[in-house]
Amino acid sequence: MQRVYLDFNATTPVDAAVLDAMLPYFSGDFANAASIHTPGQRARAAVETAREQVAGLIGASPKEIVFTSGGTESDNHAIFGIVNSALASGAQTAPHIISSAIEHEAVLNTCQALEKRGVAVTYLPVDKNGLIDPAAVQAALRPETVLITIMHANNELGTIEPIAEIGRIAAQADVYFHSDAVQSAGKISVDVKALGVDLLSLSGHKLYAPKGVGGLYIRNGTRLQQLLYGGHHQRGARPGTENVAGIVGLGAAAKMARKSLAEDAMRVSGLRDRLEREILARVPDARVNAAGAPRTPNTTNIIFPGVEGEALLISFDLKGLACSTGAACSSGAVEPSHVLTAIGLSPEDARASLRFSLGRHTAEAEIDFALHVIPAAVAQLRELSPTYRRSSVVAI
C-alpha cells in the first residue's frame, strides 16, 4: 500500500547527507569532546564547526549558541533562566512574564510551573488568524516584567508572529525577549538581530536532523541562570557530555537549510497552496484556519465540518495518508486544541480540524494521492454523521 506522510511539523526524517555527516562520530571519532587528547579534540572541532553552522542559520555568533537536548529544554532553559536570575537579584516584587495563549506546551507548562511559585504571567489573546497584536504586548508591560516569550511560528496553524515589532517593544522597555523558533528555523528566514530577540529556541528533528538535539541562542550579555548543574561543558552554560553525533547532525542540517531555504520554501508553498485549493474545491464546507495570516510555507490547517478529526485521521491512515489533529505532543488529548479554540473556533470545529504539513521532499504525486484520499474519506464519514446532515438542512 502506498503511504504518504504529511506530518512534517511533528518530525522530519534525518536527511541522508546529515546521516552521512553523523556516522563517523558513532564509531571511529567516538571520543568525548571534553577530552584533551587528539581523538577528543577531533570531536571538539566537529562540535565547534556545528556551532558555527547553527549560528550561520540564524545570524548569530557561534559563542551565542548552546546545544541542548531539543526545543523543550531550550524553552525551559530560556524561561527559567531569566526568571531565576531575576529572583536571585533580590527584587522586591514577583517577576512578571508576557506570553501568548497559543504557545507550545513547552512554554505554557513552564510558565504555569512558575505561576505556582508566585510569578505573574499574562497570556495574550490572538485574533482569528492566530496573530498577536504588538500593541497588546506594549499594554501588558509592567515595571516588574522580566521576560516576553512569544513563538515565531505556530506549530498547528503555521502563523508567523510579528516578532520584529515585539522585539522593538521589548528593547525599548529593556525587557528580555525569547522566541520559540522550533517551527520556523529551516523553513523561513530567521535572523536574531533583525528579530530583536535575546533568546531563541530551535530543535534538530524539525529540520532533518535527529531527535534529541537542539539549540538555544543566548545573546551575548544576557543574564541567564543555568538550568542544569554538573561539569563545565559549553562554558558552563549547559553541563553534560555533548551528543557529538547529534550536534554534528544539527550543524549539517542547519548548513543545508541555509543553502536551500528560498528554493525549498517556494516549491513547498506551491504544493501546499495547491492542496488547499483542491480540498476547498472538492470538499463542501471545508475551510482553512488562519488563511489570512502570513504562514510557514509548508503548513495548512483545515476544518472539515461534521466530522470528528480523530475519526478522519484514522480513516486517512488506513488509506495510507498520515497527517495530524494538532501538535504531536498533544496527541491523545481529550480537550480540543488550545490553539484552535484561542482563534475562536467552537470545540466542535476545533475537533473537526486537521493539520497537513509538507516536507522538503514532498512530491507532486503525493499531493495527488492526498487529494484522492481526502474527499472520499470525508464524504464517507459525513454519510454517517447526523450532525453534518442537520447542519446542511439548517443551511438550506
Is 5 in contact with 200 (CB distance < 8 Å)? no
Residues 82 and 108 in one domain: yes
Residues 251 and 130 in one domain: yes
Active-site positions? Answer: 329
The pLDDT tens digits for 76-94 are 999 999 999 999 987 778 9
Residues 251 and 276 in one domain: no
- Looking at 207, 237, 256, the residue that finishes a domain is 256
Q: What is the pLDDT of residue 386?
A: 76
Q: Average pLDDT in the 256-277 region?
A: 97
Amino acid at position 269, single letter: S
Number of domains present in the structure of the chain:
2
Residue 250 sits in a domain whose CATH number is 3.40.640.10
The pLDDT tens digits for 304-346 are 999 999 999 999 999 999 999 965 554 555 689 999 999 999 9
Residues 244 and 273 in one domain: no
Residues 308 and 339 in one domain: yes
Residues 33 and 73 in one domain: yes
Residue 268 sits in a domain whose CATH number is 3.90.1150.10
| Range 328-333 contact pairs with CB under 8 angstroms and sequence separation of 24 or more | 328/7, 328/9, 328/10, 328/11, 329/104, 329/105, 329/106, 330/105
Residues 339 and 230 in one domain: no
pTM of the model: 0.94
Q: Average pLDDT in the 357-380 region?
A: 97
Range of the domain at 153: 16-256
Residues 126 and 47 in one domain: yes
Residues 308 and 220 in one domain: no
Q: How confident is the model at residue 201 (pLDDT cuts 50, 70, 90)?
A: very high
Residues 219 and 314 in one domain: no
Kind and range of the H or E run holding 202: strand 199-203
Residues 182 and 331 in one domain: no
Lowest mean pLDDT among 47-61, 136-150, 202-216, 225-239: 225-239
- Looking at 233, 256, 279, the residue that finishes a domain is 256
- Looking at 225, 240, 256, the residue that finishes a domain is 256
The rounded distance, in Å, linking the Cα atoms of 250 and 49 is 11
Q: What is the pLDDT of residue 392?
A: 45
Q: Average pLDDT in the 146-172 region?
A: 98
Is 224 in contact with 85 (CB distance < 8 Å)? yes
Residues 106 and 227 in one domain: yes
